[in-house]
Amino acid sequence: MVNSNNKYEMRIAQLIARSGFSSRRDAEKIIIQKRVEVNGNLISSPALNVTQNDVVKIDGKIIEKFSSPIIYLYHKPKGLIVSKKDEKNRPTVFSNLPKNLRSYNSVGRLDKNSSGILLLTNDGKLSRFLELPINKIKREYMVQVDKELSLENLKSIRQGLLLNGFNYKPIQISKSSARKKAQYSMSLFEGKNREIRNIMANFKINVIDLVRTSYGPYSLGNLKPSEYTQGDIKLLNFN
């Protein structure tokens, strides 16, 4: 939205999210908790438009205004939760990252026992763009299971399944060229919670190892567990 003075306006929660302080949903919560000031005035409703010229404080501290979108590629190791706070006090990916990246948004999730590429961005809008199925951002996985899938299993995965009320869209799957016996390459365009594990469990097959090898144009490459590197934002068709 642009006002009569040609200053770009957005909802206050969006500005907070794009600053990297929190997600938009969490921003709305802290506004309702009366922790946010705009130009010295305490606010209690997210229904407020602001511009980059407004001074926004959270808990008395001025938030950094958002810059151009930045994206990082991070190799999530097994054993970490993709969350900024965990109610069970388990170690998280953000406790494993340097302080300058702890305010970033994670793109999607990987469960505790999975590893591989996890994208981090300072821009909440970009995060949502990468997650929404309508944008058809491909995620690729290498999956090792405890026994080989049958032809019927493969057919069901490629056609899509309805399991426990969840509609799992068709997944591209092929036998991996690696020497491991029951290892498969899988590609999907949305990321429901524990999707691959739930599908395999339906066939009474256990996942031994699950690694996300790429997300959109970004691949894991030679990144070792816990390593990270900045990605080229120009690879995305995003503005």
User: Active-site residues: which are they?
Assistant: 111
Question: Among all chains, which residue has been given the structure tokens 């060229």?
Answer: 177
Six token digits for residue 157: 């995965």
Please tell me the distance from the alpha carbon of residue 188 to that of residue 167, in angstroms, as a whole number: 13
148 DSSP assignment: P
236 DSSP assignment: S
Six token digits for residue 12: 């206050």
**Structural contact between residues 184 and 175, judged by C-beta atoms closer than 8 angstroms:** yes
Using alpha carbons, select from 196, 197, 236 the residue that is nearest to residue 216: 236
| Cα-Cα end-to-end distance for the chain | 15
Six token digits for residue 190: 């949305």
Question: Among all chains, which residue has been given the structure tokens 């020497």?
Answer: 179
Count of residues in the chain: 239
- Taking each helix axis from N to C end, the angle separating 124-131 and 12-19, rounded to the nearest 10 degrees, works out to 90
Please tell me the distance from the alpha carbon of residue 189 to that of residue 180, in angstroms, as a whole number: 26
Six token digits for residue 213: 């090898």
